[in-house]
Amino acid sequence: MVNQKTEPDVYIGKVLNNRYLIIDLIGKGGMGRVYLAEDTAKNRQVALKILILNLVNQQVSQRFAREIFIGAQLGRKSKNIVRVLSYGVTDEKTPFYVMEYLEGKNLKQILKKHPLTIDKFLDICYQVCLGLQCAHQGIILKGEVYPVVHRDIKPENIFITNNSKQSENVKILDFGIAKFLTERSGMTLTDSFIGSLPYCSPEHMEGRKLLDIRSDIYSLGVLMFEMLTAKHPFQTESNSFGNWYQAHRFQVPPTFAEVDSQLQIPSQLQDLIMSCLAKEVGDRPQNAQEIIQVLGQVKQKIENANSSSDDIGKNIPEFQLVPITSLTEKECLQKTWPKNKPVKQIGFPHLLPTTQGIIPTFWAMLPKQEISQFLSKNHRIEFISQMEVYPMILWVTVLHDVELSLIRWLSYFIDLQESRGQSIVRFLADTGYYHLLFFALEEPNNCPQVITLTLTAQQRQQLIDWMTTNQNIEPNEIVTTSQAKNILKTEYEEIRLEIMRNLTANKPQEQVEIKSWFAKLIDQVLHIFKHNQ
């Protein structure tokens, strides 16, 4: 947010709620004005958005309240969405809300000077996608989870912060016209067209009732095209609704070579952007994760190419992209079951000192026959948290053998209020993998088998985001640990049932006794939860 010259303003110099001193006007939006303010209670600068007085009516006030609600929930879950800190009303009964103050520039200001380099493009797009993914995963409203469609992804709403202590952080702004969606039907809970015409999807402009997260994917495609070319993919004779609709619905975007023959953009990246700009929703990436995966692949290829040319004649590379785990796995095989742990089917995490440094591990005791069956089978990692409720993570490792209808759930609650929990999460995020040490019930002393499980880039970022969020949670916002565990158990049950449905769907040739299978699994889950509590 950048200061700009404005006419004298009635709010500048006022103190709202006996706490927020209005210093300067720094921006204007469709519904309100944004001010730089001082939070006198915490001695910090904040941004404060006040609804424009002549817009105060029931419909606009409800939209403004929705913006506050969405920002409060999503800003706690993702560091790539601007965070709402508080809200209130002025003496004139005009609603306002307080958000974190950002120093830097929005993407529109940056693109006025020049397009982005590939490296900068990948970094910014990756963070935008993480923020969108968080919104699309939804927020909780009256006990139900609703995906959120931003509906106004454009350069002005992508803010790049300046921070000398770390790399640039990207924030998505302005959820003022966002829509809640029901997961079952995709029907919107708010209606009427509103948005920025150059970035609207065709279905958005048509006012379709089934507008979903793929509309944001289209807007992101327009944005990505601009980021690499500094030009819009579509041309219109005027800024009218009809001209923009014709462009979005029928114009074919030019190739990057047609825009600038000097551009050197990886073909995989070009294909990604063109797929985001597909006219039909089914032809686009279906979610932000698909885009994240492609961005990661492009970045990996670029880094590999650079390291190949830069490391000629060098014996030791500057860094490793893929961790070498064979040495530490051998050290794990030398470990013995702790004397202070019972010989029973339990699991727990442990930060293990090795010759390669501290490595996160998970120790599990299972029947010997099961261990041999799981070694070469499928594994899955889940991290579950509701940071806006309590700083706790449920870490789940799923081991399954579809052919034998055998599944084992290894779970553990990590409390981020405890230093040990913070250390485990930090090492998981930094290392990007962990060793799973098996111990047999029949021969409990030694570790006969070790496997290494790798976290996805998204999971590592998720852990980092939760650690950042944990630092901002105030004590009066925290519920009890037992309440937090119950909340996470409920979410865990939904994920567990989804996994089991998928496993059943992958095995149509066999008749699976669902009731007995579910009963067995529930017994396992309850057993593990009982131990962790």
Residues designated catalytic: 152
Integer CA distances (angstroms), 274 to 116, 226, 233, 441, in order: 18, 12, 10, 55
The residue whose two tokens read 């529930």 is: 522
The one-letter amino acid code at 146 reads: Y
Question: d(Cα 351, Cα 424) in Å, to the nearest integer?
Answer: 7
Among 220, 221, 291, smallest CA distance to 253 is for: 221
Helix (H, G, I), strand (E, B) or coil at 449: strand
Q: Which of 192, 186, 2 is nearest to 101 (CA)?
A: 2
Tokens of 454: 């790798």
By the 8 A CB rule, do 89 and 53 touch? no
Q: What is the rounded CA–CA span in Å between residue 229 and residue 215?
A: 22
How far is the C-alpha of 42 from the C-alpha of 19, rounded, in Å?
9
**C-beta separation of 75 from 84 below 8 A:** yes
Residue 75, beta-bridge partner list:
none
d(CA 349, CA 345): 14
Tell me: is residue 279 an annotated ligand-binding position. Answer: no
Sign of CA dihedral 472, 475, 479, 485: positive
DSSP symbol at 139: E
Question: Which of 175, 192, 172, 186 is CA-nearest to residue 281?
Answer: 186
Question: Rounded to the nearest 5 degrees, what angle is found at the Cα of 126, between the Cα atoms of 122 and 132?
Answer: 145
The CA angle 483-489-490, to the nearest 5 degrees, is 95
Q: Answer whether 404's CB lies under 8 Å from 478's CB.
A: no
Q: For residue 440, what are its two tokens?
A: 């047999």
Output the known binding site for ATP: 49
Output the known binding site: 49
